[in-house]
Amino acid sequence: MGENFSLPKHKNILVGVDDSADAQFAFLNAVSHALEDDSLLHIVTVLETDTLNVFEALDKEKLKAKRAKIEQRLHEYQQQALEAGVKEVHLVFAEGEPGETIVKDVIPNVQPDLVVVGAAATKKGLGKYMGSQAGYVAKYSPVSVLVVR
């Protein structure tokens, strides 16, 4: 590699966050890339509606409270990114199966040139053995994916 080799700059970075430690690390990594490339940062979180039990799904107040908590967390991430010096930070709140929702809905709308995800999302039961959300995003994303662990 010659002296004038440099990686292309990213203009629009999408980072997926949840409550896992890996997601925190992915977020920090995305902020670092956004600062380095002076790029726009989109922070996405997906409310997994299939993890709600039938009573939570039917109870509008519980669902509203869960959405409010997730939105509050997203705003905290946004504030952290802005305080770190990222100039423009957008929030994306979606519902569904995280990997699929990010690939099929969020990426086409946001049009990032880099997606950053944590290697292990908070998954319980069979889900964690049947393939992670990060794996799904890495496999099916039409743009480059950075999987952070």
**What gap in Å lies between CA 28 and CA 80, rounded to an integer?**
9
Q: Which domain holds residue 54?
A: 12-148
Question: What's the domain count of the chain?
Answer: 1
pLDDT of residue 3: 62
pLDDT of residue 35: 97
Q: Are 81 and 31 in contact (CB under 8 A)?
A: yes
Comparing C-alpha atoms, which of 125, 116, 118, 105 is closest to residue 50?
Answer: 125
| 10-residue averages of pLDDT along the chain (149 residues) | 70 92 92 96 88 66 85 96 98 91 96 92 44 85 93
Report the Cα–Cα distance between both ends of the chain, in Å, rounded: 27
Whether 7 is in a domain gets the answer: no
Which CATH number characterizes residue 77's domain?
3.40.50.620
Whether 5 is in a domain gets the answer: no
Token code pair at residue 5: 């080799």
Q: What is the largest CA-CA distance in the chain?
A: 61
Q: Are 62 and 56 in contact (CB under 8 A)?
A: yes
Whether 105 is in a domain gets the answer: yes
pLDDT of residue 119: 87
pLDDT of residue 93: 93
Using DSSP bridges, classify how beta strands 144-148 and 114-118 pair: parallel, antiparallel or unpaired. Answer: parallel
What is this structure's pTM? 0.85
pLDDT of residue 57: 61
At 146, which helix (H) or strand (E)? strand 144-148
Whether 94 is in a domain gets the answer: yes
Whether 99 is in a domain gets the answer: yes
How many C-beta atoms surround the C-beta of residue 11 within 10 A?
Answer: 13
pLDDT of residue 125: 43
Whether 6 is in a domain gets the answer: no
